[in-house]
Chains A and B, each alone.
Chain A
Amino acid sequence: MPDDLNWAIGGEAGDGIDSTGKIFAQALSRAGRHVFTSKDFASRIRGGYTAYKIRSSTDRVESVVDRLDILVALTERTIDENLDELHDDSVIIYDGERTEMEDIEIPGEMTGLSVPLQRLAEEAGGAIMQNIVALGAACEVTNFPIENLDSALEKKFGSKGESIVSNNKEAARKGQEFVAEEFDHEFDYDLDTTDNDYVLLNGDQAIGMGAIAAGCRFYAGYPITPATDVMEYLTGRIEQFGGEVVQAEDELSAINMALGAARAGARSMTATSGPGIDLMTETFGLVATSETPLVIADVMRSGPSTGMPTKQEQGDLNMTLYGGHGEIPRFVLAPTNVAECFQKTVEAFNLAEKYQTPVFLLADLSMAVTEQTFEPETFDMDAVEIDRGKIVDDDEVEAWTDERDRFQPHFSTADGVSPRALPGTKNAAHMSTGLEHNSLGRRTEDTDVRIEQVDKRNRKVETAKEQEDWSPREFGDSDSDNLVISWGSNEGAMREALEFLDEEDIDVRFLSVPYIFPRPDLSDDIEAADEVIVVECNESGQFADVLEHDALTRVKRVNKYNGVRFKADELAEDIKEQLQSEEVTA
């Protein structure tokens, strides 16, 4: 068997699935193995099927695949839910002493290991540790050194006292020993370890970490799945750097608080998901016309309306690109993996202040809740640069005043970017407004001034297009006539799909685009290719639409909108099918 292992624990929400999965992910990471996690969860606190899945390898893993090797099934339904991914060599660990599990049937040739999870946990000190018994059993099946699990347990329970930690270690050992003694079975799995030290974190945490690194000191938000982790990460941490998280009464308040903090000079942000973005839309225009630097993260989930709160989708592209009445200059960035959530957040703050615009950060559920391993240097704090743009101090104010010594916060410059005086700056008191205004920030309906200010604001985007790097990232065979383009979090699955396609001698050039607006001009690339396929997690192909518009041609599409992220092997099949298809359907 390959070293690549797919493991999952599933049961009912409230069974501790999440924390158990996290402990095993941590153990694998601590053993120098790469980890990529995903979650199946329902929008409820208790009950309903939920699962935590881990793919692990000594090589980097960037996606999930349609295969499950070891399943800890706390309920019978867990087996049914994962039947498609299970295969003949799969091992299912379950507690056959539980009444509702005693008659379960292990499908096909699969190996069922009935381990008395609850009884062994009680022997170790408490039934609550039954999941840890299962982890110990999994260690034995995979020949994985249990010391790594100990280390993860110490991290998880260390603050709760020594006896809790030792009881859990004991529970794990009981699971391990039970499997070793009771089953005379040669398992196919043999996990290697390495000396590498990895960090393990998810996209929401990476956004929060990027925000603190970039000097963000004010965050206002309203809890919403799957963006809440950003707020939870920042809470308790941002304060250590002199900042504050405010849980606002609603999203309207959140974005306006963030706007207020930004006008006072703080690097400021809010994060939400689609329904919250709808509410915040009212204020987008104000942010843009008052030329306030603001970072707004949209961690997308399935829409429209409340849609499927715990499922994946990339359906808000149009919303962030076009949302708001009138015409609004803005930037839209879409990180393509967990590490990029950190880097793009830092970039978002710099762009916001350099160009005094709203900057949208389009993340999504699959990236937000995915925990992934990285070399710690991936989050290189020394490489973080802060560019605060054209902030003027007391001495520079005079250069930007009019003939009556009034500061002009919306002065129409050649590059479109005006001087910015933070409150407290001497002799620069000024107002700003969502009304059309003159260079002083005062309301006007003068036709010439209107045009001047609209053009000025749009000029910032033109300047940014010239000054910043909006390139896509390229993978695969650069000479191929088959071009696949995706945006945001599909990159990992697509990169791995390239390997599956390569095995079938299908060459593909892959461009992963982290910028929606401004975006790279891909017209020449599209023109040069025989086949162009745009991959995205939505029904209509929102990014495909804008690319068709840019390149004035039709492209093929691979869309997935069932609520589940792309899986690499399945995506490879979809690409293959599209390449063989004659028709461009849109």
Chain B
Amino acid sequence: MSSEVRFTDFKSDKQPTWCPGCGDFGTMNGMMKALANTGNDPDNTFVVAGIGCSGKIGTYMHSYALHGVHGRALPVGTGVKLANPDLEVMVAGGDGDGYSIGAGHFIHAVRRNVDMTYVVMDNRIYGLTKGQASPTSREDFETSTTPEGPKQPPVNPLALALSAGGSFIAQSFSTDAQRHTEIVQKAIEHDGFGFVNVFSPCVTFNDVDTYDYFRDSIVDLDDEDHDPTDRDAAKEKILDADKEYQGILYQNEESVPYSELHGLDSNMADIPDGAPEGAMDLVREFY
């Protein structure tokens, strides 16, 4: 790690193919800044992504990275972090990736509390497949596959995380660069699974959950005197369907991450040249 790392060191020389104005630009910039601000560099950082617009992030960032299959980014990140605790692991996903196909992995990743950061670029629509409803789409949101709206309530990812025992639950808005960066930074610094749902508007397919909508409706928790260590207060805010909050909704400061709980502190890549010392004991056990 080096104190001279700048956030641009995390930028690859590949120009993003996201639509001009896409919220993902801001989301990614904040992630890179947060990584640099927390003293990481590309050689010790591993970024995992799944499929969709969010999945492209591994190409646009410069770090060790894996672009995996749809919805399975969290298990990959879990494996990376447990195998090498020295790595800073950041998992990026979209609302489809994380709350639909990967919903099962999401709640289990939350309860496993591996020390990594999960950033979800939530635009409340499927963008890369050209505009179908996502799990966070509004009940009446008309799309090509839901001409009269999904007619089912949207998933509340924060509530899922809280009920699964989440130790760090936050929400940010991609265009509010400073606040978003600060929130992701705190997620990185958190000892455990740092979850940030980011409002990352889709300018092409979502004409409801737009920049203007979020700008007008977002309430910053810092202005609300919210105590993030108070789980009941967090619950109240998270279940308030009428408001869009920005900030850290809940943080368990006593959180003990998986690796610490399981005594994992060494890099599993380091193995002996032959069978490990004491391996014959494994045989003797069967006498």
Contacts of A202-239 to chain B: CB distance below 8 A: 205, 209, 212-215, 217-218, 220, 237, 239
Contact of B79 among A243, A256, A428 (CB under 8 A): A256
Contacts of B63-96 to chain A: CB distance below 8 A: 63-69, 72, 74-84, 86-87
Q: Which residues of A contact B287 (CB under 8 A)?
A: 30, 197-200, 376
Asked, given contacts A256-B72, A258-B79, A382-B275, whether A431 binds B66 with beta carbons under 8 Å apart, the answer is yes
Q: Which residues of B contact A354 (CB under 8 A)?
A: none
**A442 closest partner in B (C-beta):** B59
Q: Determine whether the beta carbon of B80 is less than 8 Å from that of A261.
A: yes
Q: Determine whether the beta carbon of B75 is less than 8 Å from that of A256.
A: yes
Among B68, B278, B280, max chain A CB count under 10 A is at B68
> In the bound complex, what is the Cα–Cα distance between A290 and B105 (angstroms)?
21
Contact of B46 among A237, A240, A264 (CB under 8 A): A264
Q: Determine whether the beta carbon of B275 is less than 8 Å from that of A423.
A: no
Contact with B along A49-64 (1 / 0, CB 8 A): 0000000000000000
> In the bound complex, what is the Cα–Cα distance between A214 and B275 (angstroms)?
6
Q: Which residues of A contact B14 (CB under 8 A)?
A: 442
Contact of B276 among A30, A212, A250, A406 (CB under 8 A): A212
Binds B, one of A105-113, A265-273, A514-522: A265-273
Contacts of A22-41 to chain B: CB distance below 8 A: 30
**B91 closest partner in A (C-beta):** A260
- Residue A433 at the chain B interface, CB threshold 8 Å: yes
List the 9 closest pairs (A to B, CB-CB), nearest first.
A260-B79, A265-B269, A215-B271, A266-B268, A256-B75, A431-B65, A433-B67, A264-B83, A261-B83
> In the bound complex, what is the Cα–Cα distance between A257 and B68 (angstroms)?
11
Q: Is the interface of B mostly helix, strand, loop or mixed?
A: mixed
Least CB distance, A277 to chain B, in whole angstroms = 16
Q: Determine whether the beta carbon of A266 is less than 8 Å from that of B83.
A: yes
Contact of A433 among B43, B66, B81 (CB under 8 A): B66
Q: Determine whether the beta carbon of B279 is less than 8 Å from that of A423.
A: no
Binds A, one of B147-155, B217-225, B259-267: B259-267
Contact with A along B245-287 (1 / 0, CB 8 A): 0000000000000000011101111011111101110111011
> In the bound complex, what is the Cα–Cα distance between A382 and B84 (angstroms)?
27
Contact with B along A374-417 (1 / 0, CB 8 A): 00100101101110000000000000000010100000000000
- Residue A180 at the chain B interface, CB threshold 8 Å: no
Contact of A381 among B69, B72, B86, B283 (CB under 8 A): B283
Asked, given contacts A253-B105, A425-B43, whether A263 binds B268 with beta carbons under 8 Å apart, the answer is no
- Residue A87 at the chain B interface, CB threshold 8 Å: no
Asked, given contacts A212-B282, A213-B275, whether A244 binds B82 with beta carbons under 8 Å apart, the answer is yes
Least CB distance, A397 to chain B, in whole angstroms = 10
Least CB distance, A27 to chain B, in whole angstroms = 12
- Residue A135 at the chain B interface, CB threshold 8 Å: no
Q: Determine whether the beta carbon of B286 is less than 8 Å from that of A205.
A: yes
> In the bound complex, what is the Cα–Cα distance between A249 and B72 (angstroms)?
12
Q: Determine whether the beta carbon of A213 is less than 8 Å from that of B64.
A: no
Least CB distance, B87 to chain A, in whole angstroms = 5
Among B45, B66, B72, max chain A CB count under 10 A is at B66
- Residue A161 at the chain B interface, CB threshold 8 Å: no
> In the bound complex, what is the Cα–Cα distance between A322 and B188 (angstroms)?
41
- Residue A567 at the chain B interface, CB threshold 8 Å: no
Q: Is the interface of A mostly helix, strand, loop or mixed?
A: mixed
Contact with A along B167-191 (1 / 0, CB 8 A): 0000000000000000000000000
Beyond known contacts A442-B14, A443-B59: 11 more, CB 8 A cutoff = A199-B287, A242-B266, A259-B66, A260-B48, A263-B46, A265-B269, A266-B269, A381-B282, A382-B274, A424-B84, A434-B67
> In the bound complex, what is the Cα–Cα distance between A217 and B276 (angstroms)?
11
**B279 closest partner in A (C-beta):** A381
- Residue B62 at the chain A interface, CB threshold 8 Å: yes
Contact of B282 among A220, A237, A290 (CB under 8 A): A237
25 cross-chain CB contacts under 8 A? A197-B287, A215-B276, A217-B268, A218-B83, A248-B75, A256-B68, A256-B69, A260-B66, A260-B81, A260-B83, A262-B79, A264-B269, A286-B68, A381-B279, A386-B273, A386-B274, A424-B86, A426-B43, A429-B42, A431-B47, A431-B65, A431-B67, A433-B59, A435-B67, A442-B59
Q: Determine whether the beta carbon of B59 is less than 8 Å from that of A290.
A: no
**A260 closest partner in B (C-beta):** B79
**B286 closest partner in A (C-beta):** A199
**B82 closest partner in A (C-beta):** A244
Least CB distance, A32 to chain B, in whole angstroms = 12
> In the bound complex, what is the Cα–Cα distance between A239 and B284 (angstroms)?
18
- Residue A77 at the chain B interface, CB threshold 8 Å: no
Q: Determine whether the beta carbon of B72 is less than 8 Å from that of A253.
A: yes
**A428 closest partner in B (C-beta):** B43
Among A197, A241, A252, A256, max chain B CB count under 10 A is at A256
Contact of B78 among A237, A257, A428, A435 (CB under 8 A): A257
> In the bound complex, what is the Cα–Cα distance between A140 and B267 (angstroms)?
55
- Residue B16 at the chain A interface, CB threshold 8 Å: no
Least CB distance, A265 to chain B, in whole angstroms = 3
- Residue A551 at the chain B interface, CB threshold 8 Å: no
- Residue B44 at the chain A interface, CB threshold 8 Å: yes
Q: Which residues of B contact A249 (CB under 8 A)?
A: 104-105, 108
Q: Which residues of A contact B262 (CB under 8 A)?
A: 239, 244
> In the bound complex, what is the Cα–Cα distance between A442 and B274 (angstroms)?
35
Q: Which residues of A contact B84 (CB under 8 A)?
A: 264-266, 423-424
- Residue B58 at the chain A interface, CB threshold 8 Å: yes
- Residue A477 at the chain B interface, CB threshold 8 Å: no
- Residue A430 at the chain B interface, CB threshold 8 Å: yes
Least CB distance, B35 to chain A, in whole angstroms = 12
- Residue B13 at the chain A interface, CB threshold 8 Å: yes
> In the bound complex, what is the Cα–Cα distance between A213 and B276 (angstroms)?
6
Q: Which residues of A contact B274 (CB under 8 A)?
A: 381-382, 384-386
Q: Determine whether the beta carbon of A430 is less than 8 Å from that of B64.
A: yes
Contact of A265 among B66, B77, B267 (CB under 8 A): B267
- Residue A490 at the chain B interface, CB threshold 8 Å: no
- Residue A246 at the chain B interface, CB threshold 8 Å: yes
Q: Which residues of A contact B62 (CB under 8 A)?
A: 429
Contact of B80 among A197, A246, A423, A427 (CB under 8 A): A423
Least CB distance, B223 to chain A, in whole angstroms = 38
> In the bound complex, what is the Cα–Cα distance between A242 and B284 (angstroms)?
20
- Residue A449 at the chain B interface, CB threshold 8 Å: no
- Residue A499 at the chain B interface, CB threshold 8 Å: no
Q: Determine whether the beta carbon of A200 is less than 8 Å from that of B286.
A: yes
Asked, given contacts A250-B104, A290-B66, A442-B59, whether A260 binds B80 with beta carbons under 8 Å apart, the answer is yes
Contact of A263 among B80, B267, B279 (CB under 8 A): B80
Q: Determine whether the beta carbon of B283 is less than 8 Å from that of A263.
A: no
> In the bound complex, what is the Cα–Cα distance between A237 and B87 (angstroms)?
25
